[in-house]
Structure 1
Amino acid sequence: MKKRILLIVAIASLMMLLSGCSQVNQPITSESTGFWNEFVVYPLSVVITTISHALGNNFGLGIVVVTILIRLILLPLMIKQTRSTKAMQAIQPEMQKLKEKYASKDAATQQKLQQETMALFQKHGVNPLAGCLPLIIQMPILIGIYHAIMRTQEIANHSFLWFDLGDKDPYYILPIIAGVATFAQQKMMMAGQEANPQMAMMLWLMPIMIIVFAINFPSALSLYWVVGNIFMIVQTFFIKGPDLRKKASPAGGNKK
């Protein structure tokens, strides 16, 4: 638990660091300096604008295409994350037995528990932090796209469907879709873990956060979230399809 908390704090610190050091109110150009600007934000801005120009100056469609490309690039990591999650779930009964065996809170017993737990991970080839890798990789990309969208002046000058890319969605349609898609995607990913209080809290917390952010951010960024989450719903269905169908079956897959 402590490792997870430290990881979350590290990710949050990284987000604040990158956000604070990127001159969010300054347009991104080829003249922008700094590692973050030169190697993350500006390249993403170039990719979005280049693809958008190739699609007839349709910047909304350009963002859709770039989002799908990014998700495809991250797909191997997401598959690895899913496998790691399933492996952790499979050894939960054994981990619970270890916790019961070493229930004492004294230092020696807890050290023995940690050793036995690590041995269990090695036996089954499980890395408890492997599931966090995609999140760590996605964060700089998400922040980079946020800055690329916010600081690429060309994007703000275009519209897509019913909204202006540089302004908030006037009808709140995108934020609602983003929240619903986030909930659906997480519901699929957490299948079988609903009894976990932490998971149950995240199931509702993340969609609410996404809706709040999407309401206050430019529609271009909301569009990125909507497309990304819909892609992940499809991706999760294909990756976890057998497990989801088994869970949804009336008898839970049991036969007499």
Structure 2
Amino acid sequence: MSKIRRHYKVLLLSLFVLLTCSACSNPRGTDGKTKVDQIIASEKIEIDKSQVNIEEVADPALKEELISDTSDVVTIEPTSWSSAWGNGWFDGLIVWPIAQLINVLASFTDAGWGIILTTLLIQLLIYVLTYKSQLSQQRMQELQPEMQRIQNKYAGKNDERSRMLMAQETQKLYTDNDIHPFGSILVMFIQLPVMMGMFYATMRAATTVYGSFMGMPLSETPLGAFANLDWGPIIIYALMIVMSIVSMQLPKWMGKMDKKKQEANQKKSKFKKKEEQSQGGMMANTMNMTMYMTTAMVAFMYISWPIAMSFYWLVSSAIRSGMSVLSHYVSNKKAAAQAANAAHDAGILKNRKK
């Protein structure tokens, strides 16, 4: 019980961090442009007024000064770390460093590569810090059909013995596959604030506000691109949707591939295959519905936002897919080594008995 309470406290802390981060003010105005007082710059720059929002600036004095200025450009001063901390710990500890990293990397290439390299570095750092937990989480996703089969086996059986047997089978599945269910909480605890920080940093980094990728302005919206038939942003927006689906489906696809290989090796009966497919169908439909709803929500939000956000989500989805493949490979290699060791130990024990 003490172990469960400890994990429960970690979950509550994770939810608290999520709610705290969610309370951050929206850096974009109703027109989808970044508010000029929310931009994070690493050096003094001048940005065209058409690229930023000055109507919804929080500071009345600054707002009046910007509106009364007849110039077509607005000057952005470098954003200090202390001023970022003045807006809260989330800005100072997470958003400001990520935004400045994007700005620095973009200064050597362009804004698009700044987003790509920053996202890659952050994802690699998270992967290193949560390596074992991510492997466990990956296996949990791949074994969802097996978990659903156990739940269906005891569906409608509410007696104490049935609940105990279901818990034992589930625990055995976890043990056999080296899964630690509460390990995913650590991944969530680290990933959520960083992912939200990356989200805000992409909106607020100066280089993504006025920058470009391969000559394509990242301030353009997919909605505007569809109206003008500008194929660059349209392709990025479409690829974002496709990669979002792929990144969510990939663990399930790899799990199915492993299952087919196992069935081919074990030569299971047709009846058993049919039974397992029907049992896993309901859960698969639920997961697909959740995936499509999530993708539809992201697509709806991002269609009126600058293409920088679609580009960031595309890069993140591609990196998550690569991480899933890597985790799957490592997990399978580890499982094969454990099976080989178990077979070797069994062989030694058998020889001793002889």
Q: Where do residues 94-243 of structure 1 align in structure 2 (5 Å cutoff)?
A: 96=150, 100=154, 104-105=157-158, 112=164, 116=168, 120=172, 123-124=175-176, 125-131=178-184, 133-161=186-214, 163-169=216-222, 170=225, 171-191=233-253, 192=255, 195=281, 196-240=284-328
1:59 alignment counterpart: 111
TM-score by length of 2: 0.54
Change over 3 Å in CA distance of 1:39–1:111 after alignment to 2: same
Change (3 A) 1:113 1:167: farther
Which residue number in structure 2 is paired with residue 20 of structure 1? 23
Instruction: Give the CA deviation at 1:111.
Output: 7.3
Identity %: 20
Say if 1:98 and 1:116, in contact at 8 Å, map to a contact too. no
- 2: CA distance, partners of 1:237 / 1:219: 27
Decide which of 33, 38, 41 is 2:95's aligned counterpart.
Answer: 41
1:9 and 1:165, CA in 2 relative to 1: closer, same or farther beyond 3 A?
farther
SS in 1 for 2:181: coil
- Please tell me the residue identity of whatever aligns with 1:50: V
Aligned mates of 2:172, 2:22 — CA distance in 1: 39
Q: 1:249 maps to which residue?
A: none
Larger mean Cα displacement after TM superposition, 119-128 or 25-34: 119-128
Whole-angstrom CA distance in 1 between matches of 2:236 and 2:312: 10
Q: CA deviation at 1:123?
A: 4.8
Cα distance change of structure 1 residues 93 and 47 upon mapping to structure 2, 3 Å threshold? closer
How many pairs does the alignment contain?
234
For the residues of structure 1 that align with 2:11 and 2:291, how far apart are their CA atoms?
A: 17
The RMSD of aligned alpha carbons is: 4.0
> For the residues of structure 2 that align with 1:90 and 1:151, how far apart are their CA atoms?
38
Give the Cα separation in 2 of the matches to 1:94 and 1:190: 13
Structure with bigger gyration radius:
2
Partner SS, residue 219 of structure 2: coil
The two structures have a TM-score, normalised by structure 1, of: 0.71
**d(CA) in 2 for partners of 1:214, 1:11:** 26
Cα distance in 2, alignment partners of residues 176 and 22 from structure 1: 29
Counterpart residue identity of residue 134, structure 2: Q
Asked if 2 retains the 8 angstrom alpha-carbon contact of 1:42 and 1:148, the reply is yes
- 2:148 & 2:303 partners in 1: Cα distance? 44
Q: Deviations over 1:67-87 (max 9, x none)?
A: 111222233436743444436
The residue that corresponds to 1:70 in the other structure is 122
The aligned amino acid for 2:206 is Q
In structure 1, stretches of 5+ residues that fail to align are 1-6, 245-256
- Displacement after TM superposition at 1:130 (Å): 2.8
Give the deviation of 1:39 after TM superposition.
Answer: 0.5
* Partner Cα distance (2:145, 2:286) in 1: 19
Q: Which runs of 5+ in 2 are unaligned?
A: 1-9, 28-34, 41-78, 226-232, 257-279, 333-354
C-alpha distance in 2 between matches for 1:128 and 1:229: 24
Letter of the aligned partner of 2:111 in structure 1? F
